[in-house]
Amino acid sequence: MVEVGREKFLKRRHLIFAAIGSAIGLGNVWRFPYMCYNYGGAAFLVAYVIGLFAIGIPWLVTEFAMGHYFQKGAPEVFSNIGKKWEWVGWFPAVSAFLIDSYYCVIMAWTLIYMFSSMTLAWGVGPAGAEGAGPYFFEQVLQITDGPGVLGGMRWQIVLSLAFTWIVIYFVIRRGAEIIGKVSEVVMTLAWILIFAIIARSVTLIGAVDGLNYYLDIDWSVLKGPGVWFAAFSQIAFTMSLGMAGMYAYGRFIAKKGDITNNAIITGLADSGFAFLAGFAVFSTVGYIMQALGVPLQDVTISGIGLAFVTYPVGVSLMPALNTLTGVLFFLMFWIIGLSSAYFLAYGGFMVPLIDKFGWKREKVVFWGCLVCFLVGLLYCTGGGLYWLDIIDRTVAFYTLLLGGAIASLVVGWVFGADKLRKHVNATSDIKVGPWMDVLIKYVVPAGLLFVVIYGGFMQDLKKPYGGYGVWANFIWILIAVVLIVSFILQNMKSKIEIEKEGK
Ligand code: PFF
């Protein structure tokens, strides 16, 4: 068996599939289409493409290249730049752990819905349209009144979560070789499924009306900061950056493997999938509007509500093939979640632990999966959805973007953007010029800090996030905790070594 130090993806395409798999996730389906609709259709696409080439791809090149250069996961990359910077690599690793703990719970719901689609458990026809909301909140989640009331475990979710983690365990326990092969299969399946779902959706009556909303153009939005905030935050989220995992995947690229081209392919495939998903989402929304005679405002078109309430409504109203469409949609959802979840687990926090402490891969994978599963139990309670939302705001927004900005500054200014560029050019087909230095040193950190300050601090300080009252303060507490844990991890090994030397 290949030890982690020499672990590589067997073929170039395995890396590409794995990286695309990590990027394509729940966010492509429930975040991108909504943002496109909300921020001026094609105008959003303009801001998004600018963000993709000015921030997303350079940032991905940076993470790949740093992992490849040092042949290490994120924390060791930064400790090699300078011992005092190691926490900059732990910060995203801790975030990846926290994200994965709830991301897999969403996958667990998806699995439950795959089975409930077989019987249309929330109801058929107009009854299903009425029943989808209560089914999700009252039956599956059995939601409580707020984050202060946990209300006990929802065992169906626990079981489904356990299954999800067992699958993840078997995918990652032998490292990059198997991850690459599995990614090739599951991503191929995901693309087939999304095309099948689109074919079903666009043939529904009213689909065109929905699509008109999706792509309705309003250029004037480009003048305001909102669309830029939305586009840049979506780029960071969707490309799975700032989560430590891409350093690990970069490290698994063959010695003479390509970096720039792989990053561009990953960015474009991820965006393409999101754009296509919008056709499935908005055709279905158009159909619901037509079938129920309701305006768009009455239909939830983003986030958890889109996947677990609106889509089931669409499925129960469909004139034919509804159970099949439901099963395929939730299967697709679970699959795209899976390839992001094992990325967050293995590349995100396990490779950093293996690298830093020299622990055996089998052990880290086993305990890592188990502990992350146990932390996830919090979200399997009746109050779990509230906590999921609060933690999501903390890590998938604040720490992701802040961590990315800091990492980019350290790479650009301390390690040296020119050194990075030379390494990238030595390995890649597409050569980058000195403009890349400008992107890494200025554009990426400035773009990310703009999002954190404009879309985060300024909004949350004005009005605490999510209407959770005092519980919303957990966001700030958690950011501090992530930081403190990062410092502790940074300093742990030296203590262990000193103790060993002393003996
Ligand atoms: N990029 C994936 C998605 O869009 O769902 C996975 C993901 C990574 C989600 C990082 C959230 C996140 F913060």
Q: DSSP 3-state assignment of 239?
A: coil
Cα-based angle 238, 177, 267 (whole degrees, multiple of 5)? 20
Percent of the chain with pLDDT over 70: 97
Asked if 322 and 121 touch (Cβ cutoff 8 Å), the reply is no
400 lines ligand 1 (CB under 6 A): yes
Nearest CA among 242, 245, 248 for reference residue 9: 248
Residue 385: pLDDT above 90?
yes
Mean pLDDT of 245-251: 95
Atom of ligand 1 nearest to the CA of 26: 5
C-alpha to C-alpha distance for 42 and 36, rounded to whole angstroms = 7
Compute the CA torsion angle 179, 181, 187, 189 (nearest 10 deg).
-130
What is the pLDDT at residue 133? 95
DSSP string covering 60-113: HHHHHHHHHHHTS-HHHHHHHH-GGGHHHHHHHHHHHHHHHHHHHHHHHHHHHH
C-alpha to C-alpha distance for 503 and 246, rounded to whole angstroms = 38
Contacts by residues 9-12 (CB-CB < 8 Å, ≥ 24 positions apart): 9/176, 9/177, 9/179, 9/180, 9/252, 9/253, 9/254, 10/177, 10/180, 10/181, 11/180, 12/254, 12/257, 12/258, 12/262
Give the Å distance between the CA of 340 and the centre of ligand 1: 7
Atom of ligand 1 nearest to the CA of 243: 10
Which residue would you say has higher pLDDT here, 217 or 420? Answer: 420
**Domain spans, the chain:** 4-498
Atom of ligand 1 nearest to the CA of 344: 8
Question: What confidence tens digit (pLDDT) does each residue in 1-13 have?
Answer: 444 567 898 899 9
What is the pLDDT at residue 102? 96
Residue 216 — pLDDT band, cuts 50, 70, 90? confident
- Neighbouring C-beta atoms of residue 223, cutoff 10 Å: 9
Residue to probe by mutation, ligand 1, list 35, 102, 103, most atoms within 8 Å of CB: 103
- Ligand 1, atom 7: closest residue by C-alpha: 240
Residue to probe by mutation, ligand 1, list 91, 243, 333, 343, most atoms within 8 Å of CB: 243
- Ligand 1, atom 2: closest residue by C-alpha: 25
Residue to probe by mutation, ligand 1, list 99, 105, 275, most atoms within 8 Å of CB: 99
112 lines ligand 1 (CB under 6 A): no
28 lines ligand 1 (CB under 6 A): yes
Contacts of 237 (CB under 8 A, 6+ apart): 27, 31, 396, 397, 400
What is the pLDDT at residue 375? 98
451 lines ligand 1 (CB under 6 A): no
Residue 303 — pLDDT band, cuts 50, 70, 90? confident
What is the pLDDT at residue 225? 87
Give the Å distance between the CA of 295 and the centre of ligand 1: 30
What is the pLDDT at residue 498? 58
Residue 428: pLDDT above 80?
yes
What is the pLDDT at residue 499? 61
Question: What confidence tens digit (pLDDT) does each residue in 123-152 have?
Answer: 998 999 999 999 999 999 999 999 999 999
Residue 86: pLDDT above 90?
yes
Beta bridge partners of 381: 153
Asked if 121 and 135 touch (Cβ cutoff 8 Å), the reply is yes
CATH number of this structure's domain 4-498, picked from the four choices 3.40.50.720, 3.30.360.10, 3.40.50.300, 1.20.1740.10: 1.20.1740.10
Going from the C-alpha of 62 to that of each of 174, 217, 327, 336, 420, the distances in angstroms are 26, 34, 38, 24, 7
Question: What confidence tens digit (pLDDT) does each residue in 32-62 have?
Answer: 998 988 898 889 999 999 999 999 999 999 9
What is the pLDDT at residue 497? 62
Question: What confidence tens digit (pLDDT) does each residue in 99-123 have?
Answer: 999 999 999 999 999 999 999 999 9
C-alpha to C-alpha distance for 285 and 291, rounded to whole angstroms = 10
Residue 17 — pLDDT band, cuts 50, 70, 90? very high
What is the pLDDT at residue 455? 86
What is the pLDDT at residue 256? 86
Residue 502: pLDDT above 90?
no
27 lines ligand 1 (CB under 6 A): yes
Question: What confidence tens digit (pLDDT) does each residue in 464-497 have?
Answer: 888 888 888 889 999 999 999 999 999 987 656 6
Residue 379: pLDDT above 50?
yes
486 lines ligand 1 (CB under 6 A): no
26 lines ligand 1 (CB under 6 A): yes
What is the pLDDT at residue 142? 96
394 lines ligand 1 (CB under 6 A): no
99 lines ligand 1 (CB under 6 A): yes
C-alpha to C-alpha distance for 368 and 457, rounded to whole angstroms = 32
Give the Å distance between the CA of 237 and the centre of ligand 1: 5
Whole-number average pLDDT of the chain: 93
Question: What confidence tens digit (pLDDT) does each residue in 318-360 have?
Answer: 988 999 999 999 999 999 999 999 999 999 999 999 999 999 9
C-alpha to C-alpha distance for 112 and 120, rounded to whole angstroms = 12
238 lines ligand 1 (CB under 6 A): yes
φ, ψ of residue 69 to 5 degrees: the values are: -65, -50
Q: DSSP 3-state assignment of 194?
A: helix
C-alpha to C-alpha distance for 312 and 81, rounded to whole angstroms = 50
**Residue-level length of the chain:** 503
Residue 279: pLDDT above 90?
yes
Residue 503: pLDDT above 60?
no
- Neighbouring C-beta atoms of residue 306, cutoff 10 Å: 20
What is the pLDDT at residue 2? 45
What is the pLDDT at residue 420? 96
